[in-house]
Amino acid sequence: MTERAMPGLWADRIFIALFAAYVLIPLGITALMAFSDDNIIRFPIRGWSLRWFEEFFSNRQWLTAALNSLKIAALTACLSILLAVPAAYGLSRSRKARNRLQVLLLLPLFVPAVVLGVSVAIGFGNVTLFGHALYGSSLLVACAHTLWALPLAITVLEPSFATLDRSLVEASGDLGASPLRSFLTVSLPLVSTGLVSATLFAFITSLNEFIMALFLTTRDSQTLPVLLWLSLRSSATPQLAVAAILLAASVFTAIGLAYGWYLLRRRRKRLSAPMI
């Protein structure tokens, strides 16, 4: 298509620059402020230091919160994948199931976190499991986060299973593999990209979420975003920027790792099959 067919090329470029600025401002400013030497958050930044990072890593409360976040995110990812893999496989194999159940499975995604948080808190507030109170436990928060992570994981996985080459699976069956064995050794490796993406989505969703966690955690189990929200008004030190940037950094690290895995796999595939 020729550029002439499109309205206002310059207006278009200015708009792109403005949008990029809009997207990058919150992250960029937080990254700058994290290295400030000042006692309060203000511009211009008068000096640079790592003191707020040191402060963060020597503060027990922040560290516990960060660990809680990682723990809950890992639990959410496991739970979502365990439930999403059979569900996505089932949906991709049965048109009837897909038409009827997909909406139901996606429903929690459209319910605000505040509603999910309140209802899970009310529904499971005084339930005990094996003598432990469920309320305030990492498991309950992970279950709540799975309500968002599971529909996402299914949405990512379902197309992978749907486009899977059926003849390979059938071939493994003809060669004597049980359905379970052919699923584990043929189908799953074929959808591994979808599998990693789904895990990543679930992990990030849980890591970033804080409204449900706010209603479901106690002082001991609160996550990093919850602690950030609770100290937003009480402390206006660059410590907030440090915690926020570490949160964003862990998200981008997870994406980087998944992408690295993807590149590695693609290269290995190319090396192992040079004739094709």
Partner 1 sequence: MMRRLIPAPSPAWLVLPALGFILLVFGVPLFHLLRMSFNTHPPDGIYELSWSLENYVKILTDPVNLHTIRDTVLLSLITAVVTVVVAFLFAHAVWKRKGRVHLVLLAIALCPMLVSEISVIIGWRMFFPSNGFLSYALVETGLVERKVNLLGTRFAAIVGLSYISVSYCFLTILSVMNAVDRDLITASGDLGASPWHTFFRVLVPLTMGGIIGAFTQAFVFSMGIYAAVNALGPDSLWSIGYEIQRQMLSKRDWPLASAFAVVLIVLISLTVIGLHALHSRRGQRHD
Residues numbered 75 to 114 that lie near partner 1 (CB under 8 A) are: 82-84, 86-87, 89-94, 96-97, 101, 104-105, 107-108, 110-114
> Which residue type occupies 50?
L
6 binds partner 1 (CB under 8 A): yes
Q: Between 12 and 165, whose beta carbon lies closer to partner 1? A: 12
| Residue found by looking up tokens 């230091």 in the block | 49
Residues 33-72 that bind partner 1 (CB under 8 A): 33, 41-44
Residues 158-217 that bind partner 1 (CB under 8 A): 173, 176, 178-179, 204, 207-211, 214-215
Q: Between 229 and 261, whose beta carbon lies closer to partner 1? A: 229
CB of 135 to partner 1, least distance (A): 12
Q: Between 263 and 275, whose beta carbon lies closer to partner 1? A: 263
Which residues, in sequence order, are bridge partners of residue 128?
A: 133
| Residue found by looking up tokens 């909406």 in the block | 103
Q: Between 51 and 109, whose beta carbon lies closer to partner 1? A: 109
Q: Between 183 and 261, whose beta carbon lies closer to partner 1? A: 183
CB of 188 to partner 1, least distance (A): 14
- Distance, CA of 129 to CA of 138 (rounded, Å): 13
229 binds partner 1 (CB under 8 A): yes
Residues 257-276 that bind partner 1 (CB under 8 A): none
> Where does this chain touch partner 1 (CB under 8 A) — which range of 15-23, 57-65, 190-198, 256-264?
15-23
| Residue found by looking up tokens 């400030």 in the block | 36
> Where does this chain touch partner 1 (CB under 8 A) — which range of 49-57, 186-194, 226-234, 264-272?
226-234
Angle at 216 between CA 199 and CA 140, to 5 degrees: 50
Residues 137-156 that bind partner 1 (CB under 8 A): 143-144, 146-147, 150, 154
> Which residue type occupies 223?
T
Q: Between 132 and 268, whose beta carbon lies closer to partner 1? A: 132
CB of 187 to partner 1, least distance (A): 12
What string of H, E and C letters represents the secondary structure of the chain? CCHHHCCCHHHHHHHHHHHHHHHHHHHHHHHHHHCECCCCCCCCCCCECCHHHHHHHCCHHHHHHHHHHHHHHHHHHHHHHHHHHHHHHHHHHCHHHHHHHHHHHHHHHHCCHHHHHHHHHHHHCCCEECCEECCCCHHHHHHHHHHHHHHHHHHHHHHHHHCCCHHHHHHHHHCCCCHHHHHHHHHHHHCHHHHHHHHHHHHHHHHHCCHHHHHHCCCCCCCHHHHHHHCCCCCCCCHHHHHHHHHHHHHHHHHHHHHHHHHHHHHHHHHHCCCC
CB of 29 to partner 1, least distance (A): 5
- Candidate residues 54, 165, 166, 252; the one interacting with partner 1 per rule CB under 8 A: 252
122 binds partner 1 (CB under 8 A): yes
CB of 137 to partner 1, least distance (A): 14
